[in-house]
Amino acid sequence: MAETKGGPTTAGDEASVPRKSSWKYIGPGIVVAATGVGAGDLVATLIAGSNFGYTLLWAAVIGCVVKISLAEAAGRWHLSTGRTLFDGWASLGRWTTWFFVVYVVVWGFAYGAAAMSSSGLPLQALFPDVMDLKWWGVLTGVVGLVFVWFNKYEVFEKVMTVLVGVMFVVTVYLAVRVTPNLGDALAGLLPVLPDEKDSVLNTLGLIGGVGGTITLAAYGYWVNAKGWTHTGWMRVMRLDNRVAYITTGVFVVAMLFVGAELLHSANVAIASGDKGLVQLSDILEEEYGTATAKLFLVGFFATSFTSLIGVWHGVSLMFADFVERYRKTRVRADSIALTGEEVASGARERSVPFRAYLLWLTFPPIILLFQGQPFRLIILYGVLGAAFMPFLALTLIWLLNSSRTPAEWRNGWVSNGMLAIAGLLFLVLCVKQIADQDWGSFF
């Protein structure tokens, strides 16, 4: 999204710059799209379609554009500076480190349980007599752990690409099957608010909920893990990022079509949360038969499981980066930069901190699967999750307008405008999330 033409590259950089079509290099974008679009995102879009028809289609599209700007900024930081995003955050002050530590510990604990439960739901629906949902959740978490533990980025990316293909086929098939009204869909691209209470906040929530939270920050790490470590890859990264959010847009628009045609027209309501997708499978079975319902559940599983293994890999990379900086600064008093080359080498994926965070995401949350999430943890999880996106947007503005970034790769007015809009949007949603919490019962 930056308006820069591109700075000079070294001779070594030029040797590794792709000279033919860049399409074959696409990869990290597929990973971030698959990870960012979870079952919750699909349900939120489905409910928006069921409540408002095609009215908020424009909001879903804007959500994709906003996330393009955030992911592009994260990737541009990694490529233009050669430093990792956490290294950039650390340069802004210790407050960023404290926020990150609290976030990954509390958020990871609660997210692990939510991801395992979400991945287990479609499996239980597909095989209802095999075992309880909790055990399906445990199974998916352990499989995700083993997969990420023993495979490097190359294999991880290939598997994610296959699962994205499944998601794509299923969502597009459903969108076609419900026979969308294209005239109404085109009209939905006009920015109109529904004539209902809290329509502004509902619209902002849909924009903010399209594809990704901390996974947007992980994008730069996946760019490095792919082997892209310098500005010679900037054009490829930007193409890759656009592919990511076009893919995300297809998923979201397809589910909005399903909500508008299958639920809105029949005035059918479904539950919020992952269980709403199980309800949808029952509705699909009544309307289109068992085969369509089963196919949808397969797509539901692909959506949930890609989010699980994506977080298992991407956030573990970020945690390993944090620990490495802490270790280096303990050895020497002066700051030592953490580089993209270190991520590209695969050293982070083999490190003890990477695997320790994998274990944290998998085994402690199993307790929550069997005992339920403590009330205070739910509140902290919601607040921290809401606070991360404004933190990401505002720190990227800070980093990419300062001397920390080479002049030719700093933000232009378009990038600053998009990041400022994203920061303001997520700040409003964060304040709303905090205000909606039951703080009286917390203390």
pLDDT (average), residues 361-377: 84
Q: At what angle do helices 94-126 and 352-362 cross, to 10 degrees?
A: 50
Most confident of 36-45, 241-250, 379-388: 241-250
- Give the sign of the dihedral formed by CA 218, CA 224, CA 229, CA 233: negative
Give the residue-averaged pLDDT of 161-179.
Answer: 93
Per-residue confidence (pLDDT) for residue 4, from 0 to 100: 40
Among 404, 429, 399, smallest CA distance to 416 is for 399
200-256 pLDDT tens trace:
777 877 777 665 678 899 999 999 999 999 999 999 999 999 888 888 888 888 989
The closest alpha carbon to 377, from 331, 315, 442, 316, belongs to 442
Going along 170-319, which residue ranges are E strands? none
In sequence order, what are the residues at sequence separation of 6 or more whose Cβ sits closer than 8 angstroms to the Cβ of residue 97?
89, 90, 322
For residue 84, give the nearest of 240, 221, 223, 230 by alpha carbon. 221
Q: Of the segments 158-167, 192-201, 420-429, which one has the largest average pLDDT value?
A: 158-167
Identify the pLDDT of residue 21.
52
Task: Give the rounded distance of the alpha carbon of 142 from its chain centre.
Answer: 21
pLDDT band at 60 (very low <50, low <70, confident <90, very high): confident
From the CB of residue 169, how many other CB atoms can be counted at a distance below 10 Å? 14
The predicted model scores a pTM of 0.91
Residue that wins the pLDDT comparison between 419 and 440? 419
Q: What is the pLDDT of residue 195?
A: 75
Quick check: 74 and 85 in contact, CB under 8 A?
yes
- How far, in Å, CA of 51 to CA of 242, rounded? 29
| AA identity, residue 200 | V
Residue with tokens 């901190």: 353
Question: What is the overall mean pLDDT for the chain?
Answer: 86
DSSP tally for the chain: helices H, then strands E: 20, 0
The predicted pLDDT at position 10 comes to: 46
Helix (H, G, I), strand (E, B) or coil at 333: coil
Per DSSP, 230 falls in state S
- 293: amino acid identity, one letter: A
Model confidence over 285-312: pLDDT tens digits?
A: 999 999 999 999 999 999 999 999 999 9
Q: Which residue has the higher pLDDT, 209 or 430?
A: 430
Mean pLDDT of 163-174: 94
